[in-house]
Amino acid sequence: MSTTRIALLGFGTVGQAVARLILAQPDVSLTHVFNRHVARKRVDWLPGVTWTESIDDILAARPDIVIEVVGGRDPAGHWIAQALASGADVVTANKQLIANEGDRLLADASRNGRRLLFEAAVAGGIPVIRGIREGLAGDRLTRVLGVLNGTCNYILTRMESAHLGFDEALAEAQAAGFAEADPTDDLDGYDARAKLSILARVALGYALPPERIACGSIRPVRDIDFVYAAQLGTTIRQVSRAIVEGDGLVAGVTPGLVPTGAPLARAVRNQNIVVVTGDAGGDTGFFGFGAGGGPTAVAVMSDVLALSGHRVAAPAGTPDARQPVSVRAGMRERQYVRFVVDDRPGIIAAIASACAAHAINIDSVLQIPWADKQALPFVVTLDPCEPASLVPALAAMRALPFNVAEPFAMPFVE
Ligand SMILES: NC(=O)c1ccc[n+]([C@@H]2O[C@H](COP(=O)([O-])OP(=O)(O)OC[C@H]3O[C@@H](n4cnc5c(N)ncnc54)[C@H](OP(=O)(O)O)[C@@H]3O)[C@@H](O)[C@H]2O)c1
């Protein structure tokens, strides 16, 4: 069998880990590494490799496989298109690119008779795309539920287990390398929704661009929410979900309450989990590390091996996706609303009246003893209600004069 020649675009965290895995494989050879300011990047453990800052050098070398681990949509997307046109198969870990431009790039691949694989773009080292496409192809999948962002999960589970405040847990995540200096994409759900967009297509067959997926930030979650969550037999996770509902979808990324025994609660620290539900097979879970050089490089390398024919054949492209008739952020479900109030008589009555005006029933009121009556946190749980009623009810509750912080609502994901 002839050697598969590989060019690597990007020699950062993932690129370096991929290079080490390539070295360990027979019949696969790393011929080129491309990076800006490449002199800074050279290492002595890759003998015989050509280092370059020019994408033209890569294309001229006609590699069998180009691995893109530069990140960002532009120019990475352009380089992938050029690589496909030059006759290379491509492996990428780039979730934003695949979520936003995957259709066009997959069409490019198919037009050129090449393949574009992206296992590492969702849940890092967890083989969820291959597992769904190959292992569950026989089922009709109707739901994807996941903890898809390791940074959020690290923060939330450290708040849960070590009783840290949000800012403390975020600082710890940053110090441990689990959160970026600017953590916006992670905390506000944009990273998870790119992955959910890819999963909606692979698992459910729906074209669901990231911007159609509503995002709720985990920033309002406070340590007190874990105390109340535990009283309710639950804990808190950043939940990504896409659920088929007739011809449409419910799709969103949101902090949510999950039962303590549920699979989503088992993902701790920077772990990820994906649970897909099929008509015939029921729930199937994929669990592991969704990020980090090592796990992500394993997913990249598995795509490389699939392409180079040393392992199982990879599926070609992605079948045509349907357009959802509607995409709703939430559905009829129980809700948790945490208030922080300047305590006075009549608070519960005012909240009850805001709920009643929208035909929402209060299920329970939870209040632990609290010294500071000027900033008293307590929780109201609501019976299942439609988003169309919940949204105006929350707006009315936000406007109540005794709030000293914005009321924070999240669904029970059951
Ligand atoms: N890290 C993870 O855990 C993880 C998990 C899943 C998926 N991914 C995805 O994998 C990809 C790479 O992530 P990473 O963590 O390895 O990023 P990284 O450490 O920042 O590596 C990116 C590399 O590409 C180089 N680069 C960036 N822009 C360039 C440009 N315009 N021209 C030439 N070289 C350029 C960077 O050079 P400089 O050193 O000069 O910046 C760096 O060496 C991203 O798409 C990311 O979303 C990462």
**Domain boundary residue, one of 328, 357, 391:** 328
* Residue 243: inside a domain: yes
Section 365-385 average pLDDT: 97
Tokens matching residue 28: 């696969």
Q: Indicate which CATH number applies to the domain containing 92.
A: 3.40.50.720
Centre of ligand 1 to C-alpha 108, Å, is 23
Is there a single domain that holds both residue 156 and residue 260?
Answer: yes
* Residue 350: inside a domain: yes
Is there a single domain that holds both residue 141 and residue 49?
Answer: no
Please return the burial class of 61, using the count of CB atoms within 10 Å of its CB with bins 0-12, 13-18 and 19+. Answer: middle
Instruction: Confirm whether 195 is a catalytic residue.
Output: yes
* Residue 314: inside a domain: no
Is there a single domain that holds both residue 132 and residue 266?
Answer: yes
Is residue 36 within 6 Å of ligand 1 at its C-beta?
yes
Index of the ligand 1 atom closest to the CA of residue 68: 11
Centre of ligand 1 to C-alpha 195, Å, is 17
Question: Are 83 and 64 spatial neighbours (Cβ–Cβ below 8 Å)?
Answer: no
Distances (CA, A) of 366 to 172, 218, 336: 30, 21, 10
Query: What residues make up the domain containing 157?
Result: 128-290+319-328
* Residue 223: inside a domain: yes
Encode pLDDT of 305-361 as tens digits. 999 985 444 444 455 789 999 999 999 999 999 999 999 999 999 999 999 999 999
Share of the chain above pLDDT 90, in %: 94
Encode pLDDT of 199-255 as tens digits. 999 999 999 999 999 999 999 999 999 999 999 999 999 999 999 999 999 999 999
Is there a single domain that holds both residue 169 and residue 37?
Answer: no
Is residue 123 within 6 Å of ligand 1 at its C-beta?
no
Is there a single domain that holds both residue 270 and residue 158?
Answer: yes
Is there a single domain that holds both residue 178 and residue 323?
Answer: yes
Encode pLDDT of 240-261 as tens digits. 999 999 999 999 999 999 999 9
Place of tokens 């701790």: 268
Question: Are 303 and 91 spatial neighbours (Cβ–Cβ below 8 Å)?
Answer: yes
Q: Where are the alpha helices (DSSP H) in 112-176?
A: 128-130, 150-162, 166-175
Which entry of 41, 95, 195, 373 is annotated as an active-site residue? 195
Distances (CA, A) of 136 to 64, 142, 250, 276: 29, 12, 21, 9
What's residue 309's pLDDT?
82
Q: What is the pTM of this model?
A: 0.93
Centre of ligand 1 to C-alpha 293, Å, is 10
* Residue 302: inside a domain: no
Is residue 33 within 6 Å of ligand 1 at its C-beta?
no
The answer on pLDDT for 166 being more than 80 is yes
The mean pLDDT of the chain is 95
Neighbours of 42 (CB within 10 A): 12
Section 380-385 average pLDDT: 98
The answer on pLDDT for 413 being more than 60 is yes
* Residue 105: inside a domain: yes
